[in-house]
Structure 1
Amino acid sequence: MKTIRINAVGFFSFLFLLQPLQVFAHDPNAKADGEGTLFEQYAWWEVWNPLLFIALAVIYIFYLRVMRRIPSFSESGIPLKKNAAFAAGLLAVYVALAGPVAVMSNNSVLSIHMFQQSLMYVVMPPLILLGMPIEFYRFLNEQVFNIRFLRFLRWPLLHLFLFNLLWSFYHIPFIYEYILEHVLLLEVVHVVINISAFLMWIQVLAPDGLINRMSYVMKMGYMFANGMLITPACALIIFSDVVLYSSVLEAPELFFIATPLDDQQLGGVIMKVVQEFAYSIVIGSIFYKWVKAEKEPETPLKSYPAGQ
């Protein structure tokens, strides 16, 4: 069983380690600067990133093999919900980091960049976590989060503020533009925010009794607070009457974006709408579990003869 838990953690980490360096973010060095339309300036492999596709396919195959070795799944099979959630999480990674989304994000189209980040921070992490077996959470709870200097990983409020502060500060204009000019720093920042997103999500998606002791009400409040904390950053982008990011002025003109300011405002709207949609689904799911738990009758205590 311990080997299964370690393997579960292994393929989870593999999700990050096997990806090409540039796929976590738009790469300023990959901007189109030649003749022709935007997509005509890239070879098909630069657009569709077959290396990323192969990496994700390997991760999914590894996932299936590990899941089938878990005793509870070896006979009954992998639950469809878990299988579908994990596959959808990997699909979200591919949609965000390859194809048209990656190309337009590479070329500083802010609205697409926001969509890319929303997929990586708000959509993908909960899907991956929902696809994980309970052995994964038990391993984290008993073998990782119990280590003295790692016990802070159990603190929901820390991850609530850390994730939202990192994501918000990243979009402060002068910070955003500085990071954009330094590719290695850009990759590090995206990986750090991505990890913080997983740590935020795991607080509410871990099975009951593992990782933390938050009640259903506290988990719903936690997700509501997430939505409130990211609102100022979204509002700054949406309601600004000037272009905040100089890089947006260099973005190519696309048929669905009239001006750079429209691109910026659309980006803020996408960031907020995707986040609200995902958080609302999670809050609704938690509420449903709460109501279901309240309706279930308590298991009566067995009575035993005296002396037993």
Structure 2
Amino acid sequence: MPLSIFGFQALWSPYLIGVIAFLTVVYFLTTVTWRKDFKVSEPLKKSEAIYFILAMIILYIIKGSPIDLLGHIMFTMHMVQMAFLLLLVPIFLIKGIPWWVWKVVVEAPVVRMIFKIFTQPLVAIFIFIAMFSFYHIPSVFDAIKLDMTLHGIYTFVLFITALFMYWPLLNQVDGQHKMKNINKLAYIAGNAVLITPACALIIFASHPMYATYTEADAWLQAMELCVPVDTLAGLNLSGPELFSNMDPVSDQQVGGVMMKIIQEIIFGVILARIFRKWWVSERSSQQEITEKALRDFQQNRTNYN
């Protein structure tokens, strides 16, 4: 059955287009037009603008395009959504928003204390993993998926914990938690290990775990998160099997595998960049030491003569 039966609003989320367009305009006004109003600022870098625009594009694709609708029909697409939302978009936001804008945000009276506590590496990683794992407990997952308000709040909080998790790795703000290269490697490896049990429980489950993807009534109620109620009322739907050839267990297992694969790819790229930066830094340091030793030798030789 084609997805077009759900209508344009469910497929393309025009309201989200408006929100993203508004955020993009505010971003460029803040970083270009209003830049001189900041005590400390720098011209917006091309790379920062690209990162931010990529974040907005990916956000719309996973939450506003038909992928969002598919995420309510197939667990596989839901996990792909979660992977990009939690593991990629925060990276682009941290790197896309200039450090001097972040500085104003994180030094605000209330926000300062929140960042001080929740961006400590061990706190950040364990809270993110705990929130992610708790979300995928079947009873919790179904309860969140059946309540629009609860779903919005939990998704937002989970996204913020993902941003906190990446903050010690990526932020360039003076005074904020930052990690040495060797600690970054351990941090990423630890994150990959800790998220594995939640994925493994989903991958190796021998039965469907989530009512919102298997039971018709629960599924239809969950669909109200992205499809207008009036539209759903006019359709005669029995369940997600109308739109997918995969059985619930296979769909569930593929979803867990996709989450893990995407996570490994993203973390692998991060590790490669850390290694490269570390190698360049070490090479530069060795070159400086060699040049300094050569200058000292030449100066001592001149003085001796």
Same fold per superposition (TM over 0.5): yes
For residues 213-263 of structure 1, give each alpha carbon's deviation from its aligned partner in whole angstroms, at most 9, with x where no partner exists.
421111121111111111001111111222122222245237764211111
**Distance in 1, Cα, partners of 2:60 & 2:200:** 28
Q: Write out aligned runs for 1:100-115 (5 A).
A: 100-107=66-73, 109-115=74-80
Contact kept in structure 1, 2:102 and 2:173, CA below 8 Å: no
266, 288, 294: which is aligned to 2:254? 266
Contact kept in structure 1, 2:20 and 2:56, CA below 8 Å: yes
- Say whether 1:230 aligns with 2:230: no
Q: Kindly provide the amino acid, as one letter, of the partner of residue 164 in structure 2.
A: L
Q: Write out aligned runs for 1:189-208 (5 A).
A: 189-207=154-172
Secondary structure (helix, strand or coil) at the match of 2:214 reads: helix
**Distance in 1, Cα, partners of 2:264 & 2:28:** 31
Structure 1 equivalent of residue 11 of structure 2: 47
102, 107, 122: which is aligned to 1:157? 122
Q: Kindly provide the amino acid, as one letter, of the partner of residue 135 in structure 1.
A: W
Overall identity of the aligned pairs, in %: 27
The 1:227–1:105 alpha-carbon spacing in structure 2 relative to 1, beyond 3 Å, is same
Structure 1 equivalent of residue 24 of structure 2: 60
Any unmatched runs of 5+ in structure 1?
A: 1-36, 301-308
For residues 101-150 of structure 1, give each alpha carbon's deviation from its aligned partner in whole angstroms, at most 9, with x where no partner exists.
1112233x111111111121111110111111121343356555895576
**Distance in 1, Cα, partners of 2:114 & 2:213:** 42
260, 264, 269: which is aligned to 1:281? 269
Q: Write out aligned runs for 1:1-308 (5 A).
A: 37-69=1-33, 70=35, 73-74=42-43, 78-107=44-73, 109-140=74-105, 142-143=107-108, 147=112, 151-207=116-172, 210-250=175-215, 251-253=239-241, 257-297=245-285, 298=288
- The worse-fitting range, judged by mean Cα deviation, of 147-156 and 224-233 is 147-156
**Distance in 2, Cα, partners of 1:91 & 1:195:** 19
Contact kept in structure 1, 2:100 and 2:173, CA below 8 Å: no
**Distance in 2, Cα, partners of 1:127 & 1:203:** 14
Contact kept in structure 2, 1:47 and 1:103, CA below 8 Å: yes
Following superposition, the deviation at residue 208 of structure 1 comes to 7.4
- Structure of higher CA gyration radius: 2
Contact kept in structure 2, 1:138 and 1:210, CA below 8 Å: no
**Distance in 2, Cα, partners of 1:206 & 1:41:** 44
Following superposition, the deviation at residue 168 of structure 1 comes to 0.9
The 1:140–1:218 alpha-carbon spacing in structure 2 relative to 1, beyond 3 Å, is farther
Scaled by the length of structure 1, the TM-score of the pair is 0.77
Secondary structure (helix, strand or coil) at the match of 2:240 reads: coil
The 1:148–1:120 alpha-carbon spacing in structure 2 relative to 1, beyond 3 Å, is closer
Any unmatched runs of 5+ in structure 2?
A: 216-238, 293-305
Secondary structure (helix, strand or coil) at the match of 1:240 reads: coil
Q: Kindly provide the amino acid, as one letter, of the partner of residue 94 in structure 2.
A: L
Secondary structure (helix, strand or coil) at the match of 1:175 reads: helix
For residues 46-104 of structure 1, give each alpha carbon's deviation from its aligned partner in whole angstroms, at most 9, with x where no partner exists.
21111211211221122122222447654xxx322211111111111101111211112
Q: Which has a greater percent of helix?
A: 2
Q: Kindly provide the amino acid, as one letter, of the partner of residue 66 in structure 1.
A: T
